[in-house]
A and B are shown apart, each in its own frame.
Chain A
Amino acid sequence: MIPLSLNAHAEHLLRDLAPQVLGAVLRRFRDFGASEDAVQEALIAAATQWPREGVPDNPRGWMIQVASRRLADHVRSEAARRRREAVVVSLVPPEQQIAAAADAADDERDDTLVLLFMCCHPALSTPSAIALTLRAVGGLTTAEIATAFLVPEATMAQRISRAKQSIKASGVPFQMPTPEERTQRLDAVLHVLYLIFNEGYTASSGPALSRTDLSGEAIRLTRAVHALLPDDGEVAGLLALMLLTDARRAARTGPAGELIPLDQQDRSLWDQRAIAEGVALVTATLSRGSVGEYQLQAAIAAVHDEAARVEDTDWPQILALYGVLKRMSDNPMVALNHAIATAMVHGPAAGLELLRALDADGRLAGNHRLDAVRAHLLEQAGDREAAIACFRRAAGRTASLPERNYLMAQAARLSDALEQP
Chain B
Amino acid sequence: MKYMLMMNTPGGGPYQIANWPQKDIQAHIAFMMSFNKKLGESGELVGAEGLAGPDQARLVRAGKDGKPITDGVFPEAKEFLAGYWIVDVESPERAYEIAAQASAAPGPGGAPLNMAIEVRQVMSGPPKDWP
Contact = CB atoms under 8 A, between A and B. Distances in A.
A411 B30 CA distance: 18
Nearest to A150: B47
Interface string A371-414: 00000000000000000000110011111010001001101110
A392 B30 CA distance: 20
Given A401-B50, A416-B22, A207 B40 contact: yes
Given A207-B40, A396-B53, A397-B53, A405 B14 contact: no
B91 interface: no
B20 interface: yes
Contacts of B123: none
B56 A256 contact: no
A258 interface: yes
- B contact face: mostly helix, strand, loop, or mixed: helix
A257 B33 contact: yes
Nearest to B15: A396
B20 A256 contact: no
B79 interface: no
A415 interface: yes
SS of A interface (majority): helix
- Interface size bracket, A side: 20 to 34
A3 B22 CA distance: 45
A416 B25 CA distance: 12
A396 B25 contact: no
B55 A412 contact: no
B33 A392 contact: no
Interface residues of B, number: 24
A258 B29 contact: yes
Contacts of B115: none
B29 A405 contact: yes
B48 interface: yes
Nearest to B54: A396
Nearest to A411: B18
Contact of B45 (A207, A396, A397, A399): A207
B24 to A, nearest CB: 8
B19 A409 contact: no
A209 interface: yes
Contacts of A207: 36-37, 40, 45, 48
B17 interface: yes
B56 A408 contact: no
A416 B15 CA distance: 17
Contacts of A397: 52-53, 56
The 10 closest A-B pairs by CB, nearest first: A412-B22, A396-B53, A392-B18, A408-B18, A396-B14, A207-B40, A413-B22, A405-B29, A412-B25, A416-B22
6 contacts: A209-B40, A256-B33, A405-B29, A409-B26, A411-B18, A412-B21
